Amino acid sequence: MISSSTLLGWSTFIYLGASVLYMMHWIFKLRPMGMIGTWTTALGIGVQTGGLVLRWIESYQMGYGHAPLSNLYESLVFFSWTTAITYLFMEFKTRNKIIGAFAMPFAAASMAYASFNPNVRDAIEPLIPALQSNWLLAHVITCFIGYAAFAVACGLGIMYLLKNIARDSEGRGLFAMLPNLRSLDELMHQTIIFGFLWLSVGIITGAVWANQAWGTYWSWDPKETWSLITWFVYAVALHARLVRGWKGTKIAYISIVGFCSVIFTYFGVNFLLSGLHSYGAQ
C-alpha cells in the first residue's frame, strides 16, 4: 500500500521537474515545455494533495487524529502545496508560463528541504498541548496562504528587476519573453495585497489562539514579533504605493526583502531564537 511519505516524496521530484520544464520554456523558448510544465505542476498538486489527505488519515489510524500541519516537515509540505496552487492560479489568469520559472522553484525547494534534510523529521507525532486547539487549522492555513503569495510576489520582483535591467534589449535576448514591466508591476501589487490580507487574518487567528493557549493575545514572543515585522514590511509597500505612488523597482525590492523576512520568521526564529513557538523547529 502506498504511504503518504511515498506520495509526498514523488511530489518533490515532480515539482523539481516542473521547475526545469518552465526554465527550458523560458531560456530555450521551447513553448511545448511550458505546456508540459503546467500539466506537471497540476500532477504534482494532485499527488501532494493525496499525500496530505493520506497523512491525515494515517494520523487517525495511529490514534493522534490531527491535520498534517503540526511540525516543520508538515509545514514545509503545506507551504510547497499552497505555493504551487497560488502559482497555477496565476498562470491560469495571466496565460504566462514563464512566471513558473521563478515561482515553482520555491515549491520545489521547500519539498526538497523537507525530503532530503536529515534534521527534518517526517514521522507523524502526537500534538503537543499548545497545538491542541481548533484554531490550529485557521491560523496555519491563513498564514501559509499569505506566505505562498509572498513567495510568488518575490519571484515576480526578481522578474521585474531582470526585465528592468535589460529593458534596452526589449524584443531580443533572454529577457524578451518576460512580461512587460507594467504587467509585472501590477501582478506584484495584486499578489502582495492577496498575501497581506491572508497574513493579517493569520496574525489575528494566532492572537486568539494564543489567548486560548497562554492567556494573552500578544506576548512579544520572537515569532510573533517577526510576524509583525513582516506584516509592516508589506504594509509599507502598500501604503507607499497608495500615498506616495511607489511602483516598479521600489516595490520589487520590497517584495524580495519582505520574503526574506518571511523566511526568517519561518526558519530563523525557530533555529536561532527560543520562545513559545520553538516547537516549530521539530
Question: Among residues 200, 281, 265, which one has the least CA distance to residue 226?
Answer: 265
Q: How many helices (H) and strands (E) does the chain have?
A: 9, 0
272: Cα separation from own chain's centroid: 21
Question: Among residues 42, 131, 114, 141, which one has the least CA distance to residue 84?
Answer: 42
CA-to-CA separations, 90 to 23, 93, 97, 142, 164, in angstroms, rounded:
17, 5, 9, 18, 21
DSSP 206: H
DSSP 132: -
Distance between CA atoms of 198 and 147, rounded to whole angstroms?
A: 9
Question: What pLDDT sits at residue 219?
Answer: 84
200-258 pLDDT per residue, tens:
999 999 999 888 877 888 888 888 899 999 999 999 999 999 999 999 999 999 999 99
CA-to-CA separations, 135 to 222, 241, 267, in angstroms, rounded:
20, 33, 22
Question: What pLDDT sits at residue 281?
Answer: 42
CB 84 within 8 A of CB 19: no
pTM attached to this predicted model? 0.94
Distance between CA atoms of 92 and 147, rounded to whole angstroms?
A: 20
Question: What pLDDT sits at residue 222?
Answer: 85
> Which parts of the chain register pLDDT below 70?
168-172, 272-282
CB 200 within 8 A of CB 162: no
Question: What pLDDT sits at residue 23?
Answer: 97
Question: What pLDDT sits at residue 282?
Answer: 43
125: left (phi over 0), alpha (psi -120 to 50) or beta: beta
> What cell was used for 176?
524578451
CB 28 within 8 A of CB 174: no
Cβ-proximal residues to 172 (8 Å cutoff; 6+ apart), any chain: none
Helices (H), 131-247: 135-165, 181-214, 222-239
Question: What pLDDT sits at residue 275?
Answer: 52
Tell me how far apart the 2 most distant CA atoms of the chain are, in Å.
62
Cβ-proximal residues to 184 (8 Å cutoff; 6+ apart), any chain: 156, 159, 160, 163, 178, 252
> What cell was used for 67?
491535520
> What cell was used for 138?
485557521
16: Cα separation from own chain's centroid: 15
Question: What pLDDT sits at residue 249?
Answer: 95
> What cell was used for 88?
497555477
> What cell was used for 137?
487549522
